[in-house]
Amino acid sequence: MAPILNVLLNKQTPRYKFLCNEVGYKKRRADQAKLPKEPNEVLKTNEQSIALTDMFGRYHTYLRISLTERCNLRCQYCMPAEGVELTPQQKLLTTDEVVRLAQLFVKEGITKIRLTGGEPTVRKDLVDIIASLKQVKGLETVAMTTNGLMLTRQLVALQRAGLDILNVSLDTLQPPRYEQVTRRKGWQRVMAGLDLALQLGYNPVKINCVLMRGFNDDEICDFVQLTENRSLDVRFIEYMPFTGNKWNDEKMVSYQQTVDAIRSRWPEFHALPNGPNDTSK
């Protein structure tokens, strides 16, 4: 997983959380040292479902389900301009299969499911999926990560169906840059979607921002400033390499560089406490 800097700003003191490989690695090493040496000992001592306990002794309660490969954007760090070859429709999970999968995982201890893509809002049955998931006994939270383009059309219905948490991917606060990185128009629609989410009471609305040197690293403090008077939670994500996105390390802005940029404006910027399974600092 790419390191993530999770930023919230208030009028007193800015604070943050990291979701990052380095800290997670250190914690996993510490957890691993506490584990029984033999797998059978884990079976004897762990009362929770062994199916969702990893080799470092961490019990997982959070599941992501990708609903589609399709997307209505062509972000440069995510997809080539011509798109990608799509899996035949008959090989994708149906509504009933998504719900059945959720039921199986909830029986093993999952309490939160996040719907992702591609772009989940291109699924015509998205409202039905969310409504069905909310009927699964033991599932406490249904979340969604979206690029925000369809929120003004869909969010009211999604909230009525039971959508609890919303993450919106947004990499720039400047319309021309948005069109450059996504290869599509739509910045104003995303901002309108954020406003609607706040009006509907989502608290906070989470913004995922992929940082790229020479493109949007000069907007770090602008994003943080957004959180001062609005119920927004900005998450800065390191630019990740994978096939087709022409990654190079010169484009990457590390989490430490991001923290330094924020502290240059807010010197008292400090970390929040972590939960037992957080890969964060």
Other CB atoms within 10 A of residue 48 CB: 12
pLDDT band with cut points at 50, 70 and 90 for residue 48: low
pLDDT band with cut points at 50, 70 and 90 for residue 102: very high
The strand pair at 165-169 and 232-238 is best described as unpaired
Residue 257 pLDDT: 93
**Amino acid in position 255:** Y
* Lookup: tokens for 68: 């589609």
What rounded mean pLDDT belongs to the chain? 81
Phi-psi map region of 102: left, alpha, beta (phi>0 left; psi -120 to 50 alpha): alpha
Give the residues across from 53 on adjacent strands.
59
Percentage of the chain surpassing pLDDT 70?
75
* Least-confidence region, from 42-56, 58-72, 259-273: 42-56
Asked if 147 and 177 touch (Cβ cutoff 8 Å), the reply is: no
Residue 50 pLDDT: 66
Whole-angstrom CA distances from 71 to 3, 31, 158, 187, 253 are 24, 38, 18, 16, 26
Residue carrying the six token digits 């208030």:
10
pLDDT above 90 for 71: no
What is the arithmetic mean of pLDDT over 112-131? Answer: 94
**Amino acid in position 60:** H
SS (H, E, C) 162-188: CCCEEEEECCCCCHHHHHHHHCCCCHH
Task: Identify the CA nearest to 118 among candidates 64, 186, 184, 68.
Answer: 68
pLDDT band with cut points at 50, 70 and 90 for residue 4: low
* Least-confidence region, from 41-45, 171-175, 275-279: 41-45
* Lookup: tokens for 6: 């999770």
Q: Flag whether the pTM goes above 0.85.
A: no
**Amino acid in position 26:** K
Residue 81 pLDDT: 66
Residue carrying the six token digits 């939160």:
112
What is the edge-to-edge ordering of all strands in the sheet holding 62-66?
Answer: 62-66, 112-116, 141-146, 165-169, 205-211, 232-238, 4-8, 15-19, 270-271
